[in-house]
Amino acid sequence: MNFHFLEILPEVPKIDFVSKRRLFVTVSLIINLAVILWSLPFVHGLDFGVDFAGGTEIQLHFAQKPNLSEVDKALRKAGFSGETAQSYGPPSENAYIIRVGRIALMKPEDAERAKSALASAVGAAHLKEFHFDPEVGDKIDLTFDQPVAPEAIRAAVTGAGVKVSDVRTLAQKPGDDEYTVITQGIADKVGNALTKAFGEKAVSVERVEYVGPQVGRQLQIQGLKALIYAMAMIVVYVGLRFDFRFAPGVVIALVHDAIVTLGYFAFFGREFNLTSLAAVLTVIGYSVNDTVVVYDRMRENQHKFRGRDLPSIVNLSINEMLARTILTSGVTALSLVGLIVYARGTAVWDFAVAMLVGIVSGTYSTWYIASPMTIWLDEFLKRREGKRTNEHQAQKRAKEPAQAKAVLP
């Protein structure tokens, strides 16, 4: 029985990949510098999401699929700007997520007015502690030296212009009575604004999550560490698997792919969050996979065709693996195209687009970044070795006349 397999390329092509390496490396360098400059905070910066910048994430459920422009209009009318709704989960569930770049709706000046109102209503001497932290949320922690009626606390805070959702009694013991005032938060205001726009039972708040600015900064640092550690381990692997002459090309190619993927979020103003970081890490892994395959073929051809120069070995290896690269990259790209077409507006759409950009960049960097760097490093090492050999021979020739004179009678 004969099996017929699909052949993408019936013959090994003879494309000269390395002849234009200086041009492609120069273009790549310009693109990378442009992305880095554009991503600087004082130039444009990345649009960090709630995960990194801190804020509030609200999951909503609509009875019917809403018009997103109407949702944006209702949010702007409620005093929010820049917050947009994004679908979440299957379209049939009508679930949406709204991200707001703040945790607390109440401002420090509002808290000061509430403190003054409580001091006037209960007595400044009886108010032992007043604590409000905008990084925690819309709540005020109170401690009195005597019991105070929750209704009196509610009336005083409301009279200061702060809307109160609940007053909770935490502990009551002699000289130390603790209360917590829950004021109207961002989730309440968003829910009320959308209820007013779409109807009483048309929308409900399902989940509210807060990420403080300090936690966001820690996530940024941890994300950067993850990228650095991943690249360092890949360098160690390549150095042990092949030769450390190959490692610099891999590192430069990985940095190139990470920056290009980052450029998608920077130039198009897309939100950069933990999902985006996962896309960058995935691109790094995918890029090194293709590079390692080409490097492995290069090593085989070096043993097979001894005496041939490295540029010709690189060209031959890339051409021999070209069909494999087209198949693997093409199949992965097809799945991402499906996500891009059918998952627009969902949380995975940016991930799919970033991955597609990264796959194209990873394939390109194997041909025009990693391979040229390996060639240049090999040429540099050969020149340095030749220089050492010439110096050694010159020293040897300089010693020969002196030795000849020493043996004459």
Each residue's pLDDT tens digit, 195-243: 888 887 888 888 877 776 666 677 778 878 888 888 788 778 877 777 7
Look over the chain and give the mean of its residue pLDDT values, rounded to a whole number.
83
Burial, 3: exposed, middle or buried (Cβ in 10 Å; 0-12, 13-18, 19+)? exposed
In a domain, 396, yes or no: no
In a domain, 33, yes or no: yes
The pTM score is: 0.72
In a domain, 94, yes or no: yes
**SS3 state at 272:** strand
In a domain, 401, yes or no: no
Query: pLDDT value at position 10?
Result: 65
Q: Kindly tell me if the per-residue pLDDT of 1 is higher than 50.
A: no
In a domain, 202, yes or no: yes
In a domain, 115, yes or no: yes
User: The domain that contains 378 carries what CATH number?
Assistant: 1.20.1640.10
In a domain, 369, yes or no: yes
Query: pLDDT value at position 405?
Result: 52
The torsion defined by the Cα of 238, 239, 244 and 246, in degrees rounded to 10, comes to: -10
Question: Which residue has better confidence, 409 or 143?
Answer: 143
In a domain, 14, yes or no: no
Q: Are residues 195 and 155 in the same domain?
A: no
In angstroms, what CA-CA distances link 356 with 263, 279, 292, 294, 363?
A: 13, 10, 20, 21, 11
Q: Are residues 329 and 286 in the same domain?
A: yes
Confidence of residue 408 (pLDDT cuts 50, 70, 90): very low
CA distance 75 to 78: 5
Between the ranges 214-223, 365-374, 380-389, where is the mean pLDDT highest?
365-374
Q: Are residues 122 and 234 in the same domain?
A: no
Overall average pLDDT of the 3-32 stretch: 79
**SS3 state at 168:** strand
Q: Are residues 280 and 218 in the same domain?
A: yes
Residue type at 70 in one-letter notation: E
Question: Which residue has better confidence, 118 or 387?
Answer: 118
**Nearest partner of 318 among 366, 350, 381, 356, judged by Cα:** 366
User: The domain that contains 172 carries what CATH number?
Assistant: 3.30.70.330
Residue type at 229 in one-letter notation: Y
pLDDT single digits (tens) 20-37: 888 999 999 999 999 999
Confidence of residue 9 (pLDDT cuts 50, 70, 90): low
Q: Are residues 305 and 345 in the same domain?
A: yes
Q: Are residues 240 and 192 in the same domain?
A: no
Tell me which of 184, 201, 234 is where a domain ends: 184
In angstroms, what CA-CA distances link 124 with 111, 120, 143, 148?
A: 15, 7, 12, 13
DSSP string, 79-145: T--S--EEE-S-GGG-EEEEEES-S-SS-HHHHHHHHHHHHHHH-GGGEEEEE--TTT-SEEEEEES
Structural domain including 305 reads 21-45+213-388
Q: Kindly tell me if the per-residue pLDDT of 72 is higher than 90.
A: no
β-strands 203-211, 55-62 pairing: antiparallel
Overall average pLDDT of the 260-286 stretch: 88
Q: Are residues 360 and 223 in the same domain?
A: yes
Query: pLDDT value at position 81?
Result: 66
Q: Are residues 30 and 141 in the same domain?
A: no
pLDDT single digits (tens) 141-161: 999 988 888 999 999 999 988
Confidence of residue 48 (pLDDT cuts 50, 70, 90): confident
User: What does DSSP assign to residue 368?
Assistant: I
User: Structurally, how many domains does the chain consist of?
Assistant: 3
Q: Are residues 197 and 275 in the same domain?
A: no
Q: Are residues 63 and 145 in the same domain?
A: no
Burial, 84: exposed, middle or buried (Cβ in 10 Å; 0-12, 13-18, 19+)? middle
Q: Kindly tell me if the per-residue pLDDT of 109 is higher than 70.
A: yes
102: number of Cβ within 10 Å = 19
Place of tokens 């030795």: 403
Task: Provide CB contacts within 8 A for 34, sequence distance 6+.
Answer: 263
For residues 29 and 71, the answer to whether their CB atoms sit within 8 Å is no
Q: Are residues 203 and 283 in the same domain?
A: no
β-strands 47-48, 85-87 pairing: unpaired
Q: Are residues 157 and 191 in the same domain?
A: no
User: The domain that contains 81 carries what CATH number?
Assistant: 3.30.70.3400
CA distance 213 to 210: 10
**Nearest partner of 84 among 102, 100, 61, judged by Cα:** 100
Of the listed ranges 6-10, 113-117, 345-349, 400-404, the least confidently predicted one is 400-404
Query: pLDDT value at position 402?
Result: 53
User: What does DSSP assign to residue 175?
Assistant: T
Query: pLDDT value at position 36?
Result: 92
Burial, 396: exposed, middle or buried (Cβ in 10 Å; 0-12, 13-18, 19+)? exposed
**Nearest partner of 364 among 285, 254, 231, judged by Cα:** 254
